[in-house]
């Protein structure tokens, strides 16, 4: 079967003619950034769609993570997961905070709450879990631990756009939740991100921090950063939002197709769908067990040779990179589950316009080995 390279994900792009009126309006307004009309519209529209009261848009998710930590004045040590994209830990280092890595649950790939409690020291001030692949962390247990020890909870919710848990928006949990609107995400604004917060006072501080700390033309209240989202990105987000339900539905069809096609393949393991969760099919990871005929990396190469560019999300672990591996918490015997999962994982292509015949082709390449 001949086709162009197929990647794990690609951005959903609505028809260009739908975007032109937004661009024309930006040109007419002559407002390109700094809380323009499309920016304000997108914040309001996302609050409504996601079921939250307060949301602040950002230029990208990494700056949003950095700012979330500053918003809550986090210092010292923060307990987090090694099984994530490097921005999770980088945001801590940019704030002179020490990451403390703990192991993950083998069935969810999310941070293991029992390991959190064991890692708390007098220097611990917060927990930064990740809703990996859009699957909910053990939010009730994590909050219970945070309450007992007086810790803040900041969720890296980069994968969790639109996910509902127990009939409530997942991103309502924690003191803050941080979203990514990068081009590869379920919902994107080319580049972008957001912080979800519980009250207007916190949003005001976030808005000051993302605009150099300016409270008005002559008053700077904090050493902020330039984290503002442009009007073009916000306009694209408004357009994306019109199509998001269709995009999510298509993703879920592809996920269901993979699950059915690979269910009986010896050595191919899939995450169990979390109970009481309405997911978003943001990723489709499989885990290659020893009973499969090929190793994970051999299968990875086999797919590449057939123009299927699967990704090993998340390998290597964050804790394996040079700037982190010297930490005591980064030692592999402390992270045995994360190390094992990272050695087995392979994320398959999943995006709205992935043709179902190609999806079937990918499954056959895996199943016939």
- What is the structure's pLDDT at 47? 98
Looking up tokens 């969790």 gives 160
361 and 252 within one domain? yes
Per-residue pLDDT reduced to its tens digit, 48-68: 999 999 999 999 999 999 999
CATH number at residue 186: 3.40.640.10
* pLDDT (0 to 100) of residue 287: 98
- State the average pLDDT for the chain: 96
User: For residues 363 and 258, is the Cβ–Cβ distance under 8 A?
Assistant: yes
CATH number for position 248: 3.90.1150.10
Return the pLDDT at 14: 86
In a domain, 196, yes or no: yes
Domain boundary among 223, 239, 255: 239
Question: Which pLDDT score is estimated for 112?
Answer: 98
Do 233 and 302 sit in the same domain of this protein? no
pTM (two decimals): 0.97
pLDDT of residue 98: 98
At 334-343, the pLDDT tens digits run: 999 999 999 9
pLDDT of residue 10: 86
Q: Are residues 234 and 267 in the same domain?
A: no
**pLDDT tens per residue, range 257-288:** 999 999 999 999 999 988 899 999 999 999 99
List of residues 6+ apart from 207 with CB closer than 8 A: 35, 56
pLDDT for the residue 1? 55
Res. 217: pLDDT tops 80: yes
Within this chain, do residues 248 and 231 fall inside the same structural domain, yes or no?
Answer: no
Q: To the nearest whole percent, how much of the chain has pLDDT over 70?
A: 99
pLDDT band at 4 (very low <50, low <70, confident <90, very high): confident
Residues 81 and 216 occupy one common structural domain: yes
Q: Flag whether pLDDT at 2 surpasses 90.
A: no
**Domain identity same for 89 and 156:** yes
Q: What percent of the chain has pLDDT over 90?
A: 96
Q: Do 81 and 190 have their domain in common?
A: yes
- Give the chain's domain count: 2
The last residue of a domain, from among 239, 260, 286: 239
Q: Are 113 and 62 in a shared domain? A: yes
Structure tokens that stand for 226 in this block: 């330039």
The DSSP code sequence of 293-306 is: SS-HHHHHHHHHHT
Nearest to 78 by CA among 7, 135, 127: 127
* CA proximity to 35, closest of 56, 49, 51, 52: 56
Span 121-150, pLDDT tens digits = 999 999 999 999 999 999 999 999 999 999
Give the pLDDT mean for 240-268.
97
| Integer Rg of the chain from CA | 21
Tell me, what's the pLDDT at 369?
Answer: 74
If asked whether residues 269 and 293 sit together in one domain, one would say yes
Residue 4 falls within a domain, yes or no? no
> Residues 76, 61: one domain?
yes
Range of the domain at 284: 244-367
Q: List, in sequence order, every residue forming a beta bridge with 188; answer none if it has no partner.
A: none
In a domain, 5, yes or no: no
2 within a domain of the structure (yes/no): no
- Structure confidence by residue, pLDDT tens digits, 289-308: 999 999 999 999 999 999 99
Distance, CA of 305 to CA of 300 (rounded, Å): 9
User: For residues 244 and 282, is the Cβ–Cβ distance under 8 A?
Assistant: no
């Amino acid at each position: 079967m001949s086709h162009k390279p197929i990647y794990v994900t690609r951005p959903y792009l609505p028809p260009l003619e739908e975007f032109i009126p937004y661009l024309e309006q930006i040109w007419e307004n002559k407002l390109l950034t700094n809380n323009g009309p499309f920016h304000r519209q997108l914040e309001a529209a996302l609050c409504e769609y996601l079921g939250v009261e307060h949301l602040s848009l950002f230029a990208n998710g990494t700056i949003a993570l950095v700012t979330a930590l500053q918003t809550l004045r986090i210092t010292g040590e923060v307990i987090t997961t090694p099984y994530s994209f490097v921005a999770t830990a980088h945001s801590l280092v940019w704030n002179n905070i020490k990451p403390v890595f703990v192991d993950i649950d083998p069935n969810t790939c999310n941070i293991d709450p029992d390991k959190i409690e064991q890692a708390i020291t007098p220097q611990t001030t917060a927990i930064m879990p990740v809703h990996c692949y859009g699957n909910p962390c053990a939010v009730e247990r994590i909050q219970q631990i945070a309450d007992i020890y007086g810790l803040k909870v900041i969720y890296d919710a980069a994968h969790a756009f639109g996910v509902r848990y127990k009939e409530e928006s997942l991103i309502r949990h924690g003191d803050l939740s941080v979203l990514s609107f990068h081009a590869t995400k379920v919902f994107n604004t080319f580049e972008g991100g957001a912080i979800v917060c519980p009250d207007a006072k916190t949003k005001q501080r976030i808005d000051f921090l993302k605009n150099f700390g300016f409270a008005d033309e002559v008053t700077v209240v904090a050493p902020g950063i330039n984290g503002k989202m442009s009007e073009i990105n916000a306009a694209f987000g408004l357009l994306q939002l019109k199509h998001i339900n269709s995009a999510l539905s298509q993703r879920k069809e592809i996920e269901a197709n993979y699950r059915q096609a690979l269910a009986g393949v010896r050595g191919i393991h899939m995450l169990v769908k979390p109970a009481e969760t309405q997911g978003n099919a943001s990723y489709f990871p499989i885990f290659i067990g020893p009973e499969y005929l090929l190793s994970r990396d051999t299968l990875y190469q086999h797919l590449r040779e057939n123009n299927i560019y699967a990704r090993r999300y998340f390998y290597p672990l964050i804790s394996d990179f040079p700037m982190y591996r010297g930490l005591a918490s980064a030692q592999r015997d402390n992270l045995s589950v994360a190390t094992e999962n990272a050695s087995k994982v392979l994320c398959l292509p999943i995006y709205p316009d992935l043709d179902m015949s190609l999806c079937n082709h990918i499954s056959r390449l895996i199943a016939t080995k």
